[in-house]
Amino acid sequence: MEFFEVMHKRTSSRKFTDERLTEEEISKILEAGALAPVGSNRYPNLHITVVTDKAVLKTIAEASQIRRSNSEEMAAIINNVSNAAEILEQSKTYDPFYNAAAVIFVSHRKQDLEPNIQWCNATSVILAMHLATVDMGLGSCYMWFALDSMRRIPELDHTDLLNLPEDFEPLLGLAVGHIEEPLSERDIDTGRIARNDI
């Protein structure tokens, strides 16, 4: 697919079919991640975990469900919307991973040599994989909420299930799966990010 076709078709998919991903598909997505740039060429500071085990995802999702139903932060958001009761009801079965066939987690070695560069590195890798899925006709979505919820509710932090090397922490994920309808080009205002010229 031509680059700008990928860009115009790119979207966050939040509904997936039950079809599993093949090893070839997963490898191709990871290939794109490995081709992404990371600060100071420090690739050994990154680690990728491919989770297809639904039981593991269900456990990791617990913190998101609690946060979505209970936290003051979520209540504040919900107060502003008309279907608050519905959202609270749905939170009991809320799946932050949208039943995706796989969630690819990007973890980073804990470090303070270059503060916050780990977030830039993680998003660099995730974006490359996100775009690869568009090219491959798959759907995908960044996963921040699920990991952020585990950070905020330490008693429901199930990071250990990711079996990471010592001193690594999961920062972002990408939920990936097959989608019902092929992606089509979207009508996006490409002037939506403000600009100034100096």
Single out the residue of 14, 28, 158, 178 in contact with ligand FMN (rule: CB under 6 A): 14
Which residue stretch of 24-32, 79-87, 140-148, 149-157 sits at the interface with ligand FMN (rule: CB under 6 A)?
A: 140-148
Least distance CB 53 / ligand FMN (angstroms)? 20
**143 near ligand FMN, rule: CB under 6 A:** yes
Least distance CB 166 / ligand FMN (angstroms)? 26
Least distance CB 34 / ligand FMN (angstroms)? 20
User: Are 54 and 153 spatial neighbours (Cβ–Cβ below 8 Å)?
Assistant: no
- d(C-alpha 74, C-alpha 132), whole Å: 32
DSSP string, 24-65: HHHHHHHHHHHTS--GGG-GGGEEEEEE--HHHHHHHTHHHH
Angle between the N-to-C axes of helices 62-70 and 84-91, in degrees from 0 to 180, rounded to the nearest 10: 150
**142 near ligand FMN, rule: CB under 6 A:** yes
Single out the residue of 90, 124, 144, 153 in contact with ligand FMN (rule: CB under 6 A): 144
Look up tokens 């019902």; give the residue. Answer: 180
CB of 11 or CB of 49, closer to ligand FMN: 11
CB of 12 or CB of 22, closer to ligand FMN: 12
User: Are 45 and 122 spatial neighbours (Cβ–Cβ below 8 Å)?
Assistant: no
The CA distances from residue 170 to 49, 113, 146, in Å, are 9, 18, 10
Q: According to CB under 6 A, which residues from 91 to 130 bind ligand FMN? A: 123
Q: Which two tokens stand for residue 185?
A: 């080009």
How big is the site for ligand FMN, counted in residues (CB under 6 A)?
9
- d(C-alpha 188, C-alpha 81), whole Å: 25
Single out the residue of 12, 27, 40, 59 in contact with ligand FMN (rule: CB under 6 A): 12
Which residue stretch of 7-15, 41-49, 67-75, 85-93 sits at the interface with ligand FMN (rule: CB under 6 A)?
A: 7-15
Using CB under 6 A as the criterion, which residues of the chain lie in contact with ligand FMN when the complex forms? 11-12, 14, 123, 141-145
